[in-house]
Amino acid sequence: MSPPWLSGPVPSPLWLAVIVLGLAGLALVAYALRALDVAGAVGSFVLGFVVAGLGGLGWLLLMVTFTGVGFVVTRTGRLRKEERRIAEDNDGERGLRNVLANGAAAALAAFAGQIQGVSRTVAALAFASAVAAVTADTAASELGSLAARARRVLPPFPAVAPGENGGVSWPGQAAAAAGALLIGMLSVPLLGLGWGHAWIPAVAGFVGCQLDSVLGASLERDAVRDGPLSKQDVNFIASAVPALVVLVGAALLL
């Protein structure tokens, strides 16, 4: 069983000080290592504070896990990505829009836990689903772009260059499944969920990643194609939709 100081709400002002110190440290390290620009670092601090204040330390640590996974996979195969011209701009440095695109749905799920009638377990499942979706998508995008071949996710499934929006590959799908599964499993000790519930964010995260690919293939604009959605819009929608589905479904069924 997960200890309440980890998976429960913030138990005291001193504990909040620990969280603020930790968040400040993470933001400064992320900025110093060029993982985030200034606005992104400030945004991640605020977002983390909101999540920790509403959920607790464990909720924050689940988001930190996503950040850590993102940091590692972005820098994996960097040279090969640069050769293929699919590396993230600015040496992989993320800004405020990236932070919000990947964290806003999770923060909204944490807010949902404050709504009367939404239990902590239901909010935790929605929160974990949002985090699982962005983790799965980041892992799939970054590791899938190193694959030898890829196909467009929509019929007639033509071959596309690995890393292209809307393209999917077996290594990318495996990375997505691994990322979603990791978050699902970590949500047990960190959010206080039961093992019987861990599959929910894992499945929701994987499905969210597929939604990201479909939107990427159909509605996302990029350098060669016009569309109504930016990359950040797609990231947000692909994490918010599974979180919302899980929130409503869990509220009705649990």
Binding stretches for other proteins (CB under 8 A) = 3-5, 11-12, 14-15, 17-19, 21-22, 24-34, 75, 91
The DSSP string of 128-181 is HHHHHHHHHHHHHHHHHTTSS-EEESSTT--EE-TT-TTEE-HHHHHHHHHHHH
DSSP character at residue 115: S
The helix (run of H) or strand (run of E) holding residue 118 is none
Two tokens at 239? 């994490």
Question: Closest Cα to residue 167, out of 75, 65, 84, 243?
Answer: 84
Q: In angstroms, rounded to a whole number, what is the distance separating the alpha carbons of residues 15 and 132?
A: 26
Neighbours of 76 (CB within 10 A): 15
Note whether 196 and 187 are within 8 A (CB): no
